A and B are shown apart, each in its own frame.
Chain A
């Protein structure tokens, strides 16, 4: 299962203050650990909301609002997508993360919808058929 790990914005991150060299190095090592453990699917840091925008939806109307946005605590400053075996494992990885900000912040962990959340409930018969037909797919199309 996959989780999005969301680092919230702070006054500093919104002010465009770049993380110090030490933190960058620590984060680099942490990311390397995630890669080595085979759990990191993607991750990015975000620029402050000053370089972003919002599109407001009101019925058919669309209004563009330029950044920056005021409510700092509701903004995000970066994310990771981790593929792990449980929420507890995601929590454990986040516990091991270097503290991303000098101020007190929270890092949020949210589960990503999985294929199974969309798929219908399959009967054993259907599963068996799938396994067989896979061989056919392979024979017909190579992969």
Chain B
């Protein structure tokens, strides 16, 4: 192996194994910041010795053993050796002498538990959403600070600061490296799922052309979601999130036309949808639905996405079912934006009049004040029942509300075409 190849092999092994190494060390030291430091030490040691000695047969076990040894030294130096730590140290020493025992470790459930603790800690509600996202990508994605900064179009020092502060916040709040208590579990899980969804959307919103770094964010979010599903196979909403992301990602290739312009869902060339991802999404949705009688918000959104995925043509879309799913989602989220989406679905299922009635019901919602899509949707529905004069007025209202030049032009163009 050339030294360049060896270095790349080390980095690849590191990316694969870093999360479980950090998780295992954090269980020993009780804190993720030092755990990451020791794991990094192992990487540095590998970069120093592998180019000469060659890549070990089991790189993951080597990195794990090295990181554990550093952690034990640290614990000893800090005179933190109570009996529990001695036991840990003993176990770890065994591991250093026999890489196989680590491999067994890696296959055993403890590792899964450690990883879960790491995820719940990185996504702790004591942290801001931004900090949770950065820390999760760093600790569970194995991304460098530079990579995170590039993906989020943020300056490197800003992201570095964010991560340092996040670790400090965890330490100052004495967040234990533990699974959430039963009473907190739903909230804590919600926080984890939100982080994964945020990462996905950051990539999805900008997935165009050669912006591969942003696409990478989508893939990273999908990977994290799949990892979560492996760790919590009985959590309906985890599978619901996996389903939602697989189904959304399945449409990636159809979302942009030849000119780089976005294509609306109903206008997309469905032959470009990725069948494998659709199949995976539908399978995850099935499992999510089997696990509970009351579907959560991610599962409901996945079920709506599935209605589109199952329709080979836009005309085959099961709008009646979509309305029923939106009923449940509106009930659950109490969101006026969801209610607006529901009105559109009702219009598709039961006619524009029915949809329009619902739009009027929510027109005075304070949350929708100044939201240009409200008059835009109303315009579309009025146009469909031939009330073009009112429709044009609504389009002009929408145009006045949007802060975006290009969108304003589009809205006014449409208004002109209805005259």
B partners with A: yes
Interface size class of B (residues with CB under 8 A): 35 or more
B276 touches A134 (CB 8 A): no
A38 touches B226 (CB 8 A): yes
Question: How far apart sit A93 and B265, CA to CA, in the bound complex (Å)?
Answer: 36
Chain A residue contacts of B13, Cβ below 8 A: 92
A120 touches B259 (CB 8 A): yes
Within the complex, what minimum Cβ distance (angstroms) separates B299 from chain A? 13
A116 touches B215 (CB 8 A): yes
B210 touches A116 (CB 8 A): yes
Question: How far apart sit A33 and B406, CA to CA, in the bound complex (Å)?
Answer: 48
A126-B260 contact in complex given A35-B230, A38-B223, A92-B9, C-beta closer than 8 Å:
yes
A91-B230 contact in complex given A119-B210, A139-B373, A140-B344, C-beta closer than 8 Å:
no
> Which chain A residue shows the least CB distance to B252?
A115
Partner of B260, one of A1, A29, A122: A122
Number of A-B contacts (CB under 8 A): 154
Partner of A39, one of B9, B207, B209, B223: B223
B345 touches A120 (CB 8 A): no
Q: B interface, by DSSP: helix, strand, loop or mixed?
A: helix
Chain A residue contacts of B226, Cβ below 8 A: 35, 38
B208 touches A88 (CB 8 A): no
B260 touches A93 (CB 8 A): no
Partner of A92, one of B16, B107, B262: B16
Within the complex, what minimum Cβ distance (angstroms) separates A136 from chain B? 6
A139 touches B337 (CB 8 A): yes
A138-B225 contact in complex given A92-B13, A122-B209, A129-B406, C-beta closer than 8 Å:
no
A41 touches B341 (CB 8 A): no
A116 touches B209 (CB 8 A): yes
B222 touches A38 (CB 8 A): yes
Counting CB contacts under 8 A, is B266 at the interface? yes
A141 touches B308 (CB 8 A): yes
Chain A residue contacts of B265, Cβ below 8 A: 137, 140-141, 143
A83 touches B252 (CB 8 A): no
Give the one of A42, A119, A141, A142 with max B CB within 10 A.
A142
Besides A35-B226, A85-B219, A130-B261, 11 more A-B contacts (Cβ < 8 Å) are A1-B219, A36-B230, A88-B11, A116-B210, A116-B215, A126-B209, A127-B209, A142-B304, A142-B308, A142-B326, A143-B248
Interface residues of B (CB under 8 A from A): 8-9, 11-13, 15-16, 59-60, 107, 112, 204-212, 215-216, 219-220, 222-227, 230-231, 247-248, 252-253, 255-256, 258-262, 264-266, 276, 280, 301, 304-305, 308, 322, 326, 337, 340-341, 344-345, 373, 376-377, 380, 404, 406-407
